[in-house]
């Protein structure tokens, strides 16, 4: 999304917003690659910038891809990896996403790693099996979880107007935390932020935020308003 004019307008809105201090809430905005430096140059210093994706390993002959090293060079501290749209439309596998997260983190870029199930998977009762497999692929490659944020995005709730109920979101977030506790360690389970994405907006965010295991949001369409 976006033109230079639209992006500048959103940044102005963000710059004027009243937001709690960084020790309360960390704000990260993720424009398309072509606007990264523009946004970084205009955005208030207490907000940070993320890329929407990056390449799986060191740069080279991979036309059209952007490497983690380039993000570091531009001073971009965050990257979103494995968004459901990339998994679905570009066939990024669990393993590929795990490799990407590990490589970005190894280069000093913090990763927002996305996981989530489709409507078909939820209706067949395999939600936890799906998100556990996606998380396992990341856990097998990542040694330091300090710079990883997990974003649970039920695919059936992205841009559809359907939102997971606060109870549904909490249930999955709680199970993910248990998974980290059992398969990584209790410290990682307690400290890793698990954020929710899927038709989050101003009307439903307070109720979702009240859930004990929902640590923040990955906001999609509503972020353009």
Q: Torsions phi, psi of 59, nearest 5? A: -65, 170
- Cα gap 103→111, rounded to integer Å: 10
**Is 11 a domain residue?**
no
Containing domain of residue 112, as a range?
54-224
CA atoms lying within 13 Å on the CB side of residue 80: 27
- Cα gap 131→117, rounded to integer Å: 7
Tell me: pLDDT of 159 over 80: no
The more confidently predicted of residues 45 and 161 is 45
pLDDT per residue as tens digits for the range 92-115: 999 999 999 999 999 999 999 999
117: annotated active-site residue = no
C-beta contacts of 14-23 below 8 A and 24+ residues apart:
14/43, 14/44, 14/47, 15/42, 15/43, 15/44, 19/46, 21/46, 22/46
User: 50: which DSSP letter?
Assistant: E
171 within 8 A of 131, measured Cβ to Cβ: no
pLDDT for 158 equals 81
> Beta strands 78-81 and 110-115: pairing type?
parallel
- Cα gap 125→200, rounded to integer Å: 23
pLDDT for 61 equals 96
Segments of the chain assigned E as strands: 27-29, 47-51, 78-81, 110-115, 148-152, 194-196
**Is 21 a domain residue?**
no
pLDDT per residue as tens digits for the range 62-72: 999 999 999 99
pLDDT band at 161 (very low <50, low <70, confident <90, very high): confident
**Is 35 a domain residue?**
no
Which residues does residue 195 pair with via DSSP β-bridges, in sequence order? 151
**Is 25 a domain residue?**
no
pLDDT band at 19 (very low <50, low <70, confident <90, very high): very high
Segments of 58-104 assigned E as strands: 78-81
Number of domains in the chain: 1
- Cα gap 155→153, rounded to integer Å: 6
**Is 36 a domain residue?**
no
pLDDT for 160 equals 79
Identify the active-site residue in 83, 92, 117, 173.
83
pLDDT band at 177 (very low <50, low <70, confident <90, very high): very high
pLDDT per residue as tens digits for the range 77-89: 999 999 999 999 9
pLDDT band at 164 (very low <50, low <70, confident <90, very high): confident
* Per-residue CA distances from 63 to 30, 55, 59, 67, 176 (Å): 22, 11, 10, 11, 36
Q: What does the CA dihedral 172, 176, 179, 181 come to, rounded to 10 degrees?
A: -130
pLDDT above 70 as % of the chain: 100
pLDDT per residue as tens digits for the range 185-206: 999 999 999 999 988 999 999 9
CATH code: domain of residue 197: 3.20.20.70
25 within 8 A of 19, measured Cβ to Cβ: yes
Which residues does residue 49 pair with via DSSP β-bridges, in sequence order? 29
**Is 29 a domain residue?**
no
pLDDT for 194 equals 98
User: 125: which DSSP letter?
Assistant: T
Identify the active-site residue in 48, 92, 117, 153.
153
**Is 19 a domain residue?**
no
5: annotated active-site residue = no
**Is 12 a domain residue?**
no
pLDDT band at 1 (very low <50, low <70, confident <90, very high): confident
């Amino acid at each position: 999304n976006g033109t230079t004019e639209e992006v500048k307008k959103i940044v102005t809105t963000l710059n004027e917003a009243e937001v709690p201090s960084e020790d309360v809430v960390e704000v990260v905005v993720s424009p398309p690659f072509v606007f990264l430096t523009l946004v970084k140059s205009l955005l208030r210093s207490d907000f940070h910038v993320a890329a929407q994706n990056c390449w799986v390993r060191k740069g080279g002959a991979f036309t059209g891809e952007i490497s983690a090293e380039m993000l570091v060079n531009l001073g971009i501290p965050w990257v979103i990896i494995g968004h459901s749209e990339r998994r679905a439309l570009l066939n990024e596998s669990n393993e590929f996403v795990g490799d990407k997260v590990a490589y970005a983190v190894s280069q000093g870029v913090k990763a927002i790693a996305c996981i989530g199930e489709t409507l078909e998977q939820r209706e067949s009762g395999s939600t936890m099996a799906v998100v556990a497999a996606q998380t396992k692929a990341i856990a097998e490659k990542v040694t330091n979880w300090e710079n990883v944020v997990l974003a649970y995005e039920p695919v059936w709730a992205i841009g559809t107007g359907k939102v997971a109920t606060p109870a549904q979101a909490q249930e999955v977030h709680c199970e993910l935390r248990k998974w980290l506790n059992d398969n990584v360690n209790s410290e990682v389970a307690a400290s890793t932020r698990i954020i929710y994405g899927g038709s989050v907006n101003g009307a439903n965010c307070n109720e979702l935020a009240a859930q004990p295991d929902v640590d923040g949001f990955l906001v999609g369409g509503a972020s353009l308003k």
